Amino acid sequence: MASSVLEAAWTAADFEDRLRRIGRERYHDRHPFHLKMHRGELSRRQVQCWILNRFYYQKNIPIKDAIIVSRLRDREDRRRWIHRVVEHDGAGGDEGGIEAWIKLGEAAGISGATIQDESNILPAVQFAVDAYVNFCRLKTVEEAVAASLTELFAGALIAQRIEVIEKHYRWIKPEGLDYFRRRVSEAPRDARSALEFVLRNARSRQDQEKAVAALKFKCDVLWSLLDAVELACSES
């Protein structure tokens, strides 16, 4: 990346295209475990294993988002980011995304106590998620925001996931799907706002390349999570 200091910045359109290309090439919708999930080929135990371990990612989202808020020097940028924390933690009568994921677990036969017991989480899942939180803490805030851009690719996948569960995994009670219903609209809106921030702030070629690398890193986090779940919860 050192050589990029002297290279011309990409145009905004070219930069955005390079970010979107990462989704097509590396987003976890292409992971074998995910493909099996969407073809209806996972056992009940495998789906439970995924819900349980993915919860560790979910519960860390408001933490990494509060870190990002604390690192944004501009008040307007903080105002645009903080609703993410509120939407995951809940506020007033709204239960929030974390509670909704716990209800997904319950709808799939996992008790609230089990899902919230961190000793049930696979070490490799913890390492991957902790790596993401630390990335947001230690890299530039532009890189932290760029890492969130997997949400650009999440909207379509989540909508599809609702259909998949309703079709193939009917033993999951329908009220468990609220989490995904929330995210169908939240994820694309959050992604637009984050993309606007990245395009506005990563202006040099070097910063643009760092943003691309951050998004690849985040895809690796999500991919590793599925690797760990697939390895630990295979049926063979």
The site for a second copy (CB under 8 A) is made up of: 59, 62-64, 66-67, 69-70, 73, 75, 78-79, 82, 85-86, 89-91, 96, 98-99
CB of 161 to a second copy, least distance (A): 24
- Kindly tell me which of 33 and 81 has the beta carbon lying closer to a second copy: 81
CB of 70 to a second copy, least distance (A): 4
- Kindly tell me which of 9 and 82 has the beta carbon lying closer to a second copy: 82
CB of 26 to a second copy, least distance (A): 27
Question: What's the Cα-to-Cα distance from 31 to each of 116, 127, 225, rounded to whole Å?
Answer: 26, 19, 10
- Kindly tell me which of 81 and 223 has the beta carbon lying closer to a second copy: 81
Q: How long is the chain?
A: 236
Question: What's the Cα-to-Cα distance from 129 to each of 9, 20, 112, 201, 224, rounded to whole Å?
Answer: 31, 22, 21, 25, 9
- Kindly tell me which of 23 and 96 has the beta carbon lying closer to a second copy: 96
DSSP annotation string for 123-165: HHHHHHHHHHHHHHHHS-HHHHHHHGGGHHHHHHHHHHHHHHH
- Residues 29-42 as b or e (16 or more Cβ within 10 Å = b): bebebbeebbeeeb
- Kindly tell me which of 133 and 156 has the beta carbon lying closer to a second copy: 133
Question: What's the Cα-to-Cα distance from 89 to each of 85, 154, 209, rounded to whole Å?
Answer: 6, 20, 33
CB of 69 to a second copy, least distance (A): 4
CB of 56 to a second copy, least distance (A): 13
